[in-house]
Amino acid sequence: MLIFSPSDFFDPALFFFDFGIFNPMRVPGWVAGLLSYLDTYSVYMPTAWLQPLAHEEHEGSSPADATECFLARERKQLQSAFLELAGESRRPRTLNNLRHPALKALRWFASRRRRLPPTCGDVSDYLTFLTTTVDSTGSVADARGALGFLASANGGGGWDKDAMLGGRAALPLEAMKRRHAHAVEKAPGLPARLVLDVLRRYAYLEAGVQTDRQWHLAVGVAIGCAFKLMNSPSARRTSMEASGSTSRVPFFDGSFGVFDALLRKRVSGRGFVMPHIDAAGRVHLDRPMEYDSYVLHLPHALVTVGVPDDEAQQFTAHSIRSGAATEAVHFGAHPLLICGIAGVKSMD
């Protein structure tokens, strides 16, 4: 049986970081030490973080005056309600993710004889300790997030979030991001000539085939529309009725383009411009094409029009966005118009 006294909570030699071994909140001595540390500096914590053992208030001598007794009960009720509100101010999953980082930070401060609220130097020391112990960007970021939440919950008690997490306390996270940064090679932009090749190869009605089996037409229109709409989030949700207008989709420069493909697709009836295609090749106009499926259609279509397989695999969904934006700039489109079509705020 683990014997852990409240005084052990303040022993730096007994500090441990891995809460996966056992839950310290089930160790009475550990919890008693934590509560003593919190009470010393009047620090509030969400009640959810103190489960399964709740924070029990120590009953002092009862106020003799009836008014003082009422005010004492009210303060206790308000403090309890505030702790509940502090927990509800974040999503349950977010609050749960911040729990262990907060408990570890408080234990480290207590075992190193640091006062609360911690200074910028205290936070910097702890985050530096994390970099030498676990060497993880996530652990440093989580610790900063947890301390930031504690600062918000205890703002009236001298906790200054900006002062505590700014300055030198921001350097460990910046350093970890650089240390663990991975160079990501961007996918090449999809040239307009390849989109036109796909349209000519796919965007036609196959004679003698039912409209709900014209999957090649659906693939051609999907790739063409995604290019014209710069792969914006709304591209796959764009719908078209058989009697509706296709003027929302810009023209493609050339003898054949997206507009022509859409005119051919109108015979399919109402539904999404980029419809779902099941494994059997049946087109479902009432469902939009899944993003993963769309990404898989692109390299297959490029190989079909003559692009080498290894080169086709380099093109991704982002290739359509960057290729279309480059093409738009080439034809003199205004940056704000490009951002509006692509659904982004910046050309970066």
**pLDDT block averages, 10 residues each, the chain of length 348:** 80 79 79 89 79 48 65 71 65 81 94 94 95 89 92 81 92 91 74 87 81 81 78 50 35 50 58 78 81 79 92 86 84 79 66
- Res 183: pLDDT: 53
Both 210 and 87 in a single domain? no
Chosen domain end from 179, 204, 235: 179
Both 22 and 156 in a single domain? yes
What amino acid is encoded at 45 in this protein? Answer: M
Output the domain CATH number for residue 199.
1.10.443.10
Q: What's the total number of domains in the chain?
A: 2
Helices then strands, counting H and E runs in the chain, come out as 14, 4
Q: Is residue 184 part of a domain?
A: no
Chosen domain end from 179, 208, 227: 179
Cα–Cα distance measured from residue 282 to residue 276, given in angstroms and rounded to the nearest whole number: 8
Both 152 and 107 in a single domain? yes
Both 207 and 171 in a single domain? no
Q: Is residue 35 part of a domain?
A: yes
CA dihedral of residues 130, 133, 137, 142 (deg, nearest 10): -40
First vs last Cα of the chain: how many Å apart? Answer: 58
Q: Is residue 187 part of a domain?
A: no
pTM of the complete model = 0.49
How far apart, in Å, are the Cα atoms of 161 and each of 83, 148, 152, 312?
Answer: 19, 6, 7, 49
Q: Which of 224, 185, 206, 199 is nearest to 283 (CA)?
A: 206
Does the CA dihedral 153-159-165-166 come out positive or negative? Answer: positive
Both 141 and 66 in a single domain? yes
Chosen domain end from 158, 179, 200: 179
Q: Is residue 185 part of a domain?
A: no
Cα–Cα distance measured from residue 230 to residue 342, given in angstroms and rounded to the nearest whole number: 5
Q: Is residue 249 part of a domain?
A: yes
Domain that holds residue 248: 192-342
Both 146 and 279 in a single domain? no
Both 125 and 12 in a single domain? yes
Both 136 and 269 in a single domain? no
Q: Is residue 1 part of a domain?
A: no
Determine phi and psi for 290, rounding to 5 degrees. -70, 145
What amino acid is encoded at 69 in this protein? Answer: C
- Bridge partners of residue 155, in order along the sequence: none
Both 218 and 169 in a single domain? no
Both 86 and 49 in a single domain? yes
Q: Is residue 33 part of a domain?
A: yes
Q: Locate 307 and state its tokens.
A: 């692009």
Q: Is residue 348 part of a domain?
A: no
